[in-house]
Amino acid sequence: MTDTQHLHLAEMSKHIEVLLHASEAPLTAHNLKKHLSVSSKDLKQALALLQQRLDTGVLSLHETASGYRLQIADSYSGLIQRVFPQRQERLSQALLETLSVIAYKQPVTRSDIEHVRGVTLSSNILRQLFDKGWIEEKGYKETLGRPALLHTTPQFLDAFGLNHLDELPPMPDMAAIKALS
């Protein structure tokens, strides 16, 4: 790479950083290429250069299902939680269990969730998940009553820092867990 190319990529990486700071939502590679009028190869190199530069600071470049975003490095999470405790969102056990069933078994119906969890599903839990934009209805099951099929959304992936559902940790062996009890 020539010095001129390196300067061009260095400047492009700064433009990417500015756009990511100014954006309220992650930016896709497609959007970045369009706004900066660059090739995929140059964008990839500029993103790598930006990541190198950020590695010495407190921000990191993170890619989620919705695109690229800047976020505070994980090593500072303790400080943020101590200074801004109201930012910590407590998710109930029931909400996490429900979300897990949807994420791992989708598409699922409300009755499928109740069967897996062994308890009646509160409408409030589903409402919270819909309000957060973490789940959505996509189609209906071809059975009596045609119940809605629930799926996770890109916002769910973003909230948990994932690009794809296959990045979820492996499903625990519930029989082994129950045997430990």
Whether 176 shows a pLDDT value over 60: the answer reads no
For domain 3-78, the question of CATH label 1.10.10.10 is answered with: yes
Instruction: Kindly give, in sequence order, each residue whose CB lies less than 8 Å from that of residue 53, ignoring residues fewer than 6 positions away.
Output: 13, 17
pTM of the model: 0.62
CA distance 160 to 144: 34
Mean pLDDT of 42-66: 91
Whether 160 shows a pLDDT value over 60: the answer reads yes
For domain 89-180, the question of CATH label 2.40.50.140 is answered with: no
SS3 59: strand
* CA-closest candidate to residue 4, choices 18, 12, 37: 12
Mean pLDDT of 42-65: 91
Whether 70 shows a pLDDT value over 70: the answer reads yes
Tens of pLDDT, residue by residue over 85-144, are 775 668 888 999 999 999 999 999 999 999 888 888 888 999 999 999 999 999 999 988
HSE-CB for 143 with a 13 A CA cutoff: 8
Q: What are the extents of the domains in the chain?
A: 3-78, 89-180
- pLDDT level of residue 171 (50, 70, 90 thresholds): confident
Do 3-78 and 89-180 fold alike per CATH? yes
In this prediction, what percent of the chain has a pLDDT beyond 90? 48
